[in-house]
Amino acid sequence: MNQIVLASGNKGKLKEFSELMADYGVEILAQSELNVAEVPETGTTFVENAIIKARNAAEVTGHAAIADDSGLEVDFLQGAPGIYSARYAGEGAKDEQNYTKLLNALDGQTERNARFQCVLVYMRHAKDPTPIICQASWEGTIGFAPQGENGHGYDPIFIPAEHDCAAADLSSEEKNKLSHRGKALVLLIEAMKQQGIFN
């Protein structure tokens, strides 16, 4: 069986990738189970950070690797928090601290357009000079108060363009159909099929 390491410690992402890739005879391995330590995300773009993570996982394990990098761009804040979404309120900040800081930054603002971005990278090996890079986004606005019980990160304050509720009010099935990550995954699988990576 084709084995690919996922450069993420997130259990939700591992499950989602495993389910989708199983259809193509691919086994997704968690980098944490292969003793891959998380690498500092020192890039200045989602693309660079995804490559840094995929390269690290491929280098340590000797397997092909997939990595994703994602975040929330807010127009009024010139694209912040962007690549710093996970640490907007400081290193190790909790989701609630991050989205509270964002709500405060938009206090009194009516211009609240935003989008999630996701970049997925597939590297055949650590020195792969032509990684497959797929990108997708999810448009919406920032709400005025947190709502909903599902999801993670900024989901309680992100109102998708397709709905009047928050992303945290959607089921994971509904979210996967619309989300930046769900759409990028479809593109990645298509590109991997075209390049003959699946048997």
Task: Figure out which of the listed residues 169, 179, 185, 188 binds ligand IMP, where binding follows CB under 6 A.
Answer: 179
Per-residue contact flags (x/-) with ligand IMP for residues 109 to 148, judged by CB under 6 A? -------x--------------------------------
Cβ neighbours for 61, distance < 8 A, ≥ 6 positions apart: 5, 29, 31, 34, 36
Per the CB < 8 A criterion, the answer to whether 159 and 142 are in contact is: yes
17 in contact with ligand IMP (CB under 6 A): no
Q: Which is nearer to ligand IMP, 16 or 155 (CB)?
A: 155
Q: Report the 10 Å Cβ neighbour count for 34.
A: 13
Task: Provide the total of helices (H) and of strands (E) in the chain, helices listed first.
Answer: 5, 6
Task: Figure out which of the listed residues 131, 140, 143, 151 binds ligand IMP, where binding follows CB under 6 A.
Answer: 151
Give the three-state DSSP class for 40.
coil
Per the CB < 8 A criterion, the answer to whether 74 and 81 are in contact is: yes
169 in contact with ligand IMP (CB under 6 A): no
Task: Figure out which of the listed residues 31, 61, 85, 135 binds ligand IMP, where binding follows CB under 6 A.
Answer: 85
Active site residue 107: no
Per the CB < 8 A criterion, the answer to whether 118 and 135 are in contact is: yes
Q: Which is nearer to ligand IMP, 132 or 136 (CB)?
A: 136
At which residue do the structure tokens 């009516």 appear? 110
Give me the catalytic one of 69, 75, 128, 164.
69
Q: Which is nearer to ligand IMP, 141 or 179 (CB)?
A: 179
How far apart CA 161 and CA 183 sit, in angstroms, is 15
Question: Within positions 23 to 82, which residues make up the interface with ligand IMP, using CB under 6 A?
Answer: 68-72
Provide the token pair at 121.
């990278």
Task: Figure out which of the listed residues 11, 94, 125, 152 binds ligand IMP, where binding follows CB under 6 A.
Answer: 152
Distance in Å, CB of 87 to ligand IMP, minimum: 8
Per the CB < 8 A criterion, the answer to whether 100 and 94 are in contact is: no
The residues that are catalytic are 69
Q: Which residues bind ligand IMP (CB under 6 A)?
A: 68-72, 85-86, 98, 116, 151-155, 179
